Chains A and B, each alone.
Chain A
Amino acid sequence: MADKRYLTGCSAAAQAAKLAEVEVVCSYPIRPYTAIMMELAKMVANGELDAEFVHGEGEHAQLSVVLGASAAGARAYTGSAGVGVTYAMELYSPIAGGRYPLQMAIADRTLDPPGDFGSEHTDALSFRDQGWIMGWACSPQEVFDNTLMGFRIGEDPRVMLPQAICQDGYFISHIPDTVLVADPAQVKEFLPPYKAPHPLSMECPVSHGPQIRPDQGAPMDAQRAATFLGLPQVIKEATADFNRIFGRNYDPFLEKYKLEDAEIAFFIQGAHANTCRQTVDKLRQSGVKAGMARLRWVRPWPTHEIAEALGHVKAIASVETSTSYGGAMRGGNLIHELRASLYDLDQRPVVTSFMAGLGGETIWPEDFEYMAKVITQMAKDKKADQYVRWIGFEEE
């Protein structure tokens, strides 16, 4: 029987990691993800979880420790936030290319300078091209669920890729909500034990990562890319299994909220989707056919699913809680791939973006209502007048 509890996102992650029976955990403190490690430390100390809890000397070390552990055949878990995520940058490609399916929990934090504990997605997004599975939760429940799904998907023999399970710092990591903590029997049914294909063993000795020539580098890249072609199928299967066993109702890639007949829509990921959903309801009450598509996995990007879900919409507001300085739209990160997904449609929605929630600010319902107003006008004009609007920073 699942246990109904009231947990923050950090606690939810720790509970899920415990149920996944993670074997090597590597900690290092940085706000706002630290609580995940504090809870795991308690579990190890009181015997609830038999794992090696390694005190890493920094985030770069954390990712290095779990790489070694995963290569030796253990299920490995770590996490970080903000500049901790970027400090570990050297390791993301070696881990993904080495096919070590460890998991990293990220409770987002705005990148320095200077210190800002509030949530922006740029930290995790900064390594999105290095070959990891990566996605955002919008509730502690989803953090819990994505943690388990992450291991299941990443450790699938057809995949063997590391996962970054992300949640907005503070909004999700620190605000409690209802979480159905699964029964160990349910987890056992859903998540088989980790079986490394060629672990560092003494019976069958192997060499992990010899030097290669440039002409051997190209096929390495191609093989890694080929995995991403088959990955969506694995995600679909895992999500269906998850829904069945745990009684949830996740779409594998996108939460599609009131989209079928929507004329305007929000495209968003993470915590602020909760405010967005409420605003969609409010707009619907006043007769506006609004909807929301919430992205669950940024890697692999669900190109076709986005085109199918949003193709009929007249105008889309991409809500960006990340920065891409000098980027094509002079705004955030999601907008580029959103537009790319819609580009080949015969009838393209009008697409614009809104910078909101930066630095970890709240996005107010009024902000979403403003976005709706802007894109309603764009829908009428059948044209976007601007690629981006920085909410709160526009000229009066």
Chain B
Amino acid sequence: MSEKLPGYGTITVPLDRSVPFGAVTPAPVLQQELFFTSNWRIVRPVIDDEKCTRCMTCYIACPDSCWAYNEEEDQMVWNAEFCKGCQICIHQCPTEALTPQAELDFEDGVVRLDRPF
């Protein structure tokens, strides 16, 4: 008799629309590359290496973890892919080693992404 009754059909989610089981996603490791935020900024922080005392204030003050200290090269390293240009680091730098410069001034500036996220 079940053959004469309607079935439930099939439910197939196309591959490009699939969501992970139970909405559980893997944790990111070093950065979340599904959400670049570089195209948010209109200025970027520029570092004057001579004035920088490696006090690590910029590193501690960034909500987006965009400053890191390269111990081997004794350099502060800036993350161009995620900096939102909030200028907290610039404002907090005790030696004024950081200054804001318009993103448009840079060849690799005004990063445009294909999709916003």
Direct contact of A and B (CB under 8 A): yes
A206 lies within 8 A of chain B by Cβ: yes
A209 contacts B23, CB within 8 Å? yes
* A1 is an interface residue with CB less than 8 A from chain B: no
A223 touching B21 in the complex, CB below 8 Å, given contacts A229-B8, A307-B5, A344-B6 = yes
Instruction: Name the B residues within 8 Å of A79 (CB-CB).
Output: none
A228 and chain B: residue at smallest CB distance: B8
CA distance A226 to B26 in the complex (A): 23
Residues of B within 8 A of A (CB-CB), count = 20
Knowing that A97-B22, A307-B2 are A-B contacts, what are 19 other residue pairs whose CB atoms are under 8 Å apart, sorted by A's residue number?
A98-B22, A100-B22, A197-B21, A197-B22, A197-B24, A206-B24, A207-B27, A208-B24, A209-B23, A209-B24, A210-B23, A212-B19, A216-B19, A218-B17, A223-B11, A226-B11, A229-B11, A303-B5, A344-B5
B23-A98 in contact (CB<8A):
yes
Given contacts A198-B22, A205-B27, A208-B23, contact A346 B4 (CB under 8 A): yes
What is the size category of the interface that chain A forms with chain B? 20 to 34
Smallest Cβ distance from A191 to chain B, in angstroms?
A: 22
Q: Are A304 and B5 in contact (CB under 8 A)?
A: yes
User: What are 20 contact pairs spanning A and B, CB under 8 A?
Assistant: A98-B22, A98-B24, A99-B21, A198-B24, A207-B27, A208-B22, A208-B24, A210-B25, A212-B19, A218-B17, A219-B19, A223-B11, A223-B18, A226-B13, A307-B5, A311-B1, A344-B4, A344-B6, A345-B4, A346-B4
Q: Which positions in A face B, CB cutoff 8 Å?
A: 97-100, 160, 197-198, 205-210, 212, 215-216, 218-220, 222-223, 225-226, 229, 303-304, 307-308, 311, 344-346
> Which A residues are in CB contact (< 8 Å) with B4?
344-346
